[in-house]
Structure 1
């Protein structure tokens, strides 16, 4: 199917713009969106949901419920505006891990702690071992 041509009138002259024609098997809303540039998601009405759509929605609700019940109040406040379980998960990753610069800073601080690690005068060997192991675990979690 050839691209459709739309004539637009400017103050001084007329010019043609070409828009790709959507495939004929798309519904009217998809065809309307095809001429608007970037693809957009069109949500189905609840009455149009298939059994698979209902199952996915239910699983999403179950996952969100698990997040809501297991997170503490401070974390819940940060994620309560997320609409899907995937959004919650991505927000939690951002909160807990941060971006690359945050990870590098955490690694640098952990390395400094490790390098400056000394047993204190009144510290027992078990206490020092616990501190040492926690630093090693932190470094492993950060990829060192």
Structure 2
């Protein structure tokens, strides 16, 4: 973040650092701290995709785009996860614990995308997915 002066025609002119107010200096420092914290949490691949961002807000928005995608991507992910949930069956040789883990993973993915199944719906699906024996 740099202190800017708005000019005509929405051009941005960078304000010299020696003219910054105490509030602008504080905001710049907080932004640097936030950027540092975000960068320390990233792996090398993700860092390389965000290193050109100038502010912590830009980094955060880029991470959202990289991790969550746009609305169309979210809809596609939700569609695939709902299909997985609708078609889930306990596999031959799979333990009840393993089956429960698979169901829980799918439900967590669906919940993260904004759709919530009731406990009753999940329980019924789990029971229907069990083998007859």
Q: TM-score normalised by the shorter chain: which range applies?
A: 0.7 to 0.9
- Residue 68 of structure 1 and its aligned partner are, at CA, apart by 1.0
Alignment of 1:1-144 (within 5 A): 33-34=7-8, 38-144=9-115
TM-score (norm. length: structure 2): 0.79
Q: Which segments of 5 or more consecutive residues in structure 1 lack a partner in the other structure? A: 1-28
Deviation readout 1:102-144 (Å, 9 max, x if unpaired):
0111001101111110000110000000111111111011111
- Residue 80 of structure 1 and its aligned partner are, at CA, apart by 0.6
Q: After the TM superposition, which segments of 4 or more aligned residues of structure 1 sit over 4 Å from their partners?
A: none
Distance in 2 of aligned mates of 1:57 and 1:123: 55
Q: Secondary structure at the match of 2:13?
A: coil
Distance in 2 of aligned mates of 1:67 and 1:129: 34
TM-score (norm. length: structure 1): 0.73
RMSD over equivalenced CA pairs, Å: 1.4
Distance in 2 of aligned mates of 1:88 and 1:109: 28
Pair member with larger Rg: 1
The aligned length equals: 111
Distance in 2 of aligned mates of 1:130 and 1:122: 15
Q: Which has the higher helix share?
A: 2
